[in-house]
């Protein structure tokens, strides 16, 4: 393949990440430089699919997502796509032998967002698996650099960490998900009566996921450990802010971390990683 087009494809994924998420961009920059492009490529793929279901309201979302899915697997099979985001993604999938089942699980969760679903525990867990846990596993494939044994060892922790991140996203985005898009992911909760007890149970569940996820972070290679630890610190900070807010306030405003705190966490993760203090 033309090396210039490969470079362009990777740059498109990088630009997508930088445009949509300053926090994720910071996390990637904390990783070893050889891991940057693969993780940008995974994020670009995930971001495009998510954008289809969340933003393109004036278009046939199902048709767009189905086309995106078909083009994705065609790109993986033939190792080329004129869509630069899919081209950079297929390169990572083929280079790191990412299980195609992970991609299918992710896309299934995107299709779930196209329907009005009354989430019970089973559907809630299925959505989190597809939308977050498998994305963590795709990244883990890159982080362990084809070390199959280490991948299997860290797989449960990576899933728990992804689960914690997603549940915090659910809490943080209650306003946009429920008020604007009509989505309620948490099972057995009436948003018209969302109370402190509901919120505390969710926070306790997230805390348990974080505890297991941190065990895996500590066992990551140093090249990837600092970046993942930064993401962990960032989401812990979000959880702290969420715990201080009332259920009513969470429904009104999206919780954010200011740039000063972000850079403080960045320095903390770098120093602790370099000194093996994680």
- What is the enclosing helix (H) or strand (E) of 27? helix 22-30
* Domain, as residue range, for 20: 3-274
In this prediction the pTM is: 0.94
Cα separation, 34 vs 224, in Å, equals 10
Asked if 216 contacts 156 with a C-beta cutoff of 8 angstroms, the reply is: yes
pLDDT per residue rounded down to tens, the chain (278 residues): 678 999 999 999 999 999 999 888 988 999 999 999 999 999 999 999 999 999 999 999 999 999 999 999 999 999 999 999 999 999 999 999 999 999 999 999 999 999 988 899 999 999 999 999 999 999 999 999 989 999 999 999 999 999 999 999 999 988 778 777 778 899 988 877 889 999 999 999 999 999 999 999 999 999 999 999 999 999 999 999 999 999 888 888 888 899 899 889 989 998 898 888 88
User: Distance between CA atoms of 92 and 86, rounded to whole angstroms?
Assistant: 10
CB-CB neighbours of 162 under 10 Å: 24
Q: What is the DSSP letter of 147?
A: -
CATH code for the domain in which residue 24 is found: 1.10.600.10
Instruction: Specify the number of domains making up the chain.
Output: 1
């Amino acid at each position: 393949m033309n090396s210039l087009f490969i470079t362009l494809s990777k740059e498109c994924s990088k630009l997508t990440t930088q445009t949509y998420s300053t926090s994720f961009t910071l996390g990637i920059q904390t990783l070893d430089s050889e891991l940057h492009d693969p993780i940008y490529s995974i994020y670009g793929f995930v971001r495009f699919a998510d954008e289809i279901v969340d933003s393109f309201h004036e278009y046939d979302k199902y048709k767009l997502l189905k086309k995106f899915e078909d083009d994705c697997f065609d790109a993986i099979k033939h190792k080329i796509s004129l869509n630069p985001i899919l081209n950079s993604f297929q390169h990572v999938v083929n280079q790191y032998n990412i299980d195609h089942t992970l991609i299918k699980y992710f896309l299934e969760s995107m299709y779930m967002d196209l329907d009005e679903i009354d989430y019970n525990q089973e559907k809630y867990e299925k959505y989190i698996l597809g939308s977050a846990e498998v994305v963590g596993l795709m990244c883990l494939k890159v982080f362990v650099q084809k070390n199959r044994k280490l991948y299997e060892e860290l797989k449960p922790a990576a899933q728990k960490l992804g689960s914690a991140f997603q549940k915090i996203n659910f809490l943080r985005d209650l306003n946009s998900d429920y008020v604007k898009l009509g989505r309620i992911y948490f099972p057995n909760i009436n948003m018209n009566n969302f109370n402190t007890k509901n919120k505390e149970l969710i926070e306790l569940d997230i805390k348990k996921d974080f505890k297991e996820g941190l065990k895996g972070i500590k066992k990551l290679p140093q090249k990837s450990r600092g970046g993942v630890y930064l993401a962990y610190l960032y989401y812990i900070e979000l959880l702290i802010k969420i715990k201080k807010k009332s259920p009513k306030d969470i429904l009104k405003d999206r919780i954010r971390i200011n740039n000063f705190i972000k850079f403080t966490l960045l320095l903390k993760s770098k120093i602790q990683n370099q000194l093996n203090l994680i």
